[in-house]
Amino acid sequence: MEYDVAFVGLGYVGLSTAVCFADRGINVLGVDIDSKKINRIKNADSPIHEKYMNELLEKAIKKNRLSLSRKVADVTKAKIIFLTVGTPSRKNGSIDLKYIEQASKDIAIAIKDIEEYFVIVIKSTVVPGTALKIIDNLEKHSRKKNSIHFGVIVNPEFLQEGSAINDTLRPDKIVVGVNSEKDKKIIYKLFKKIYRKNLPIVYTTPSNAELIKYANNSLLATKISFMNYISRIAERIPDGDVNEIKNAIGMDKRISESFLNAGLGFGGSCFPKDVKALIAFSKELGVNSEILQSVLAINDTQFMSVFNILNKELGQLEGKRISILGLAFKPETDDIRDATSIKIIKRLLDKKAKVRVYDPIANNNTKRIFGSSITYAKDSESCIRNSDCCIIVTEWKEFKMLKPKDFIRLMKRPLIIDGRRIFSKKQFNKLEYHAIGLG
């Protein structure tokens, strides 16, 4: 075999995992139908913005550990084939499996006349039961038998954007949904070369592995919406402060301190999509998912806290200059998929406000949505200059460097809405400082 492993789909998960495997000495073939993407990757120019990505990519290509192809049929040159294609949302929130179905069909046709035993690993996020459908699809198009000629494993991914490389190399857990001892041995042999000695592997069935991914993300989203709900209560209490609640409850080991930050809601390519998909899947099973519907409802309306403050402080927004610091759905990424900034900007434009924005790396992506209807600043200072109000939407480190005197010096009116609690209320008490979850 020419390669140890192949990846079908070089998006966030596929590319991050491929370069990390290559860095551990594995010979990897990356397949994607997008030739522009393939060309960029070949030139060690990562299509995604991620720490350490370009360095690892360059190293992998130089050492000949990462080869690229546009043809799914080439995966037969590897023994283990990872499926890392996208599983987008349909209009009703359920997941669309068309890419994964197409990829498995292409793989089936490719392996049809080859004697070798292949292991197909589903890394894409898929609802329970999908692996079984993929097995049917593979059997139908390859005329081969599951467990005899090929095996299917479910191995969901938990990496976060902004720390994808580190999360991939040092995961809290590795979930392996597998039904046969033979496949278990094959995947263990590979993972032993990649991860640390005491592998935190959780073996389970493929369907449970599929559900683990949704339960994991939905619970994290629930923690965030829960804290956003508490923040709404704290805001209505004169000396209320959601951060004090967070610090205290986070000390309870049963709760843990992570993902308790109230803010302007969660965005990105996973949480909104995965929560919606689990709701749609529950509905198919006749299971009530009010809990997750509330998580989404809180998230959809959380940005309105900003407008409650704006209404009180500025009244009519027509002609008012509003500056926005931070556009990406979270720091260290230029990703604006489902970002709160989009909802806020849309509403500000509806109210005829003048909007100026700045993000260290997401200005260009935002331009694709809003074009010339808003203005784009080159730095924080020029963004907030002469504005009537500044809204902090993403907690980039460089915004934390801004001092109260900068806002006083530059803004027309030093009115600040801290949507991510990056400033201390004590330090900013000389300004008109408002923040999420602060009474």
Choose which of 118, 150, 158, 433 interacts with ligand UDX (CB under 6 A): 158
Instruction: Please identify which of the residues 270, 383, 389, 390 carries the catalytic annotation.
Output: 270
Write each residue from 363 to 402 as x if it is in contact with ligand UDX (CB under 6 A), else as -, in one continuous string. Answer: ----------------------------------------
Write each residue from 159 to 188 as x if it is in contact with ligand UDX (CB under 6 A), else as -, in one continuous string. Answer: xxx---------------------------
> 216, 418 in Cβ contact below 8 A?
no
Cβ 390 to ligand UDX shortest distance, Å: 19
Q: How many residues bind ligand UDX (CB under 6 A)?
A: 19
Cβ 343 to ligand UDX shortest distance, Å: 12
Asked if 270 touches ligand UDX (CB under 6 A), the answer is yes
Cβ 354 to ligand UDX shortest distance, Å: 26
What distance in Å separates the CA atoms of residue 384 and residue 336, rounded to the nearest whole number?
21
Distances (CA, A) of 63 to 27, 47, 67, 77: 10, 20, 10, 19
Asked if 195 touches ligand UDX (CB under 6 A), the answer is no
Write each residue from 224 to 263 as x if it is in contact with ligand UDX (CB under 6 A), else as -, in one continuous string. Answer: x----------------------------------xxx-x
Site for ligand UDX in 318-347 (CB under 6 A): 329-330
Q: Which stretch binds ligand UDX (CB under 6 A): 62-70, 139-147, 152-160, 188-196?
A: 152-160
What distance in Å separates the CA atoms of residue 222 and residue 229, rounded to the nearest whole number?
10
> 206, 177 in Cβ contact below 8 A?
yes
Provide the 8-state DSSP code for 70. S
Write each residue from 200 to 219 as x if it is in contact with ligand UDX (CB under 6 A), else as -, in one continuous string. Answer: -----------------x--
Distance of CA 173 to the CA centre of its chain: 18
Looking at the Cβ atoms of 75 and 159, the one nearer to ligand UDX is 159
- The set of long-range contacts for 231-234, using a CB threshold of 8 Å and a minimum separation of 24, is 231/262, 231/305, 231/436, 231/437, 232/305, 232/437, 234/437, 234/438, 234/439
Cα Rg of the chain, angstroms: 24
Helices 271-285 and 290-301, interaxial angle, to 10°? Answer: 150
> 402, 358 in Cβ contact below 8 A?
no
Asked if 11 touches ligand UDX (CB under 6 A), the answer is no
Residue 390 designated active-site:
no
Asked if 303 touches ligand UDX (CB under 6 A), the answer is no
Helix H or strand E encompassing 173 = none
- Residue 4 has phi, psi (to 5 degrees) of -80, -40
Asked if 277 touches ligand UDX (CB under 6 A), the answer is no
As annotated, the active-site residues are: 270
Residues that bind ligand UDX (CB under 6 A): 157-161, 217, 220, 224, 259-261, 263, 266-268, 270-271, 329-330
